Amino acid sequence: MIRSYQGHTPTVPPTSYVDESAQLIGDVVLGENASIWMNAVLRGDVHFIRVGANSNIQDCSVLHGMLGKWPVIVGDWVTVGHSVTLHGCVVEDRCLIGMGVVILNGARIGAGSIIAAGTLIPEGTEVEAGSLWMGVPGKFRKKLMDEDQETILRYGRNYLGYKENYLAEIKK
C-alpha cells in the first residue's frame, strides 16, 4: 500500500520494487533501484524517510521517525535485513544491517559498517565508518577488512537481482 498523508505522497521510481504487502505512508522517497519487501512498513507520517539507490528494506522491517526531531535516512547500497527497526536514525552508504537489529533515535551508522543480527544500537550512538558492532547494547567489535566490504555489496547485488525478478513477474 502506498498512501498519502497530510499532503505528502511517497515517491517511488519505476526502477524500484515495492511489494504489494508493504506499506509506504506519507513523506517517503525511494532512490533508483531500491526495494521494499513483504510486510515492511515505512511510516513517513511524523518525519521524512529517505531510502537511497540500490538499497533494500527486507521483510517485516519498520522505519519511523520522531516527531519534528529525527527522520530516517538510509544511504545507497544498504541492506536492511528481516525484522529490523530503524527509528529516527541515519544509516550511511554501503552498510549491512543484520536481521532483528534495532537502531534508535539520533544514532548514526558510518559508511561501510556491519551491524550484526540482533544488535541494539542505543539512542545517539555514533558508529565509526567501516566497523562491526554487535550485542545488546551494541559494542564495537572490530574494524572491517576489504573482504567484508565486498560481502556488504554482494548482499546488495543479490537484492538487485531479486528486485528485477519480481518486477518481471509483475509485467507478465
Domains along the sequence of the chain with CATH: 2-171 (2.160.10.10)
Query: Residue 172 has what pLDDT?
Result: 78
Per-residue pLDDT of the chain (172 residues; tens, 9 = 90+): 899 999 999 999 999 999 999 999 999 999 999 999 999 999 999 999 999 999 999 999 999 999 999 999 999 999 999 999 999 999 999 999 999 999 999 999 999 999 999 999 999 999 999 999 999 999 999 999 999 999 999 999 999 999 999 999 988 7
Q: pTM for the complete prediction?
A: 0.96
3-state per-residue secondary structure call for 18-75:
ECCCCEEEEEEEECCCCEECCCCEEEEEEEEEEECCCCEECCCCEEECECCCECEEEC
Query: Residue 171 has what pLDDT?
Result: 84
Sign, Cα dihedral of 68, 111, 62, 171? positive
**All 3 cell numbers of residue 143?**
574494524
CA angle 75, 137, 141 (to 5 degrees): 70
CA 36/CA 42 separation, integer angstroms = 9
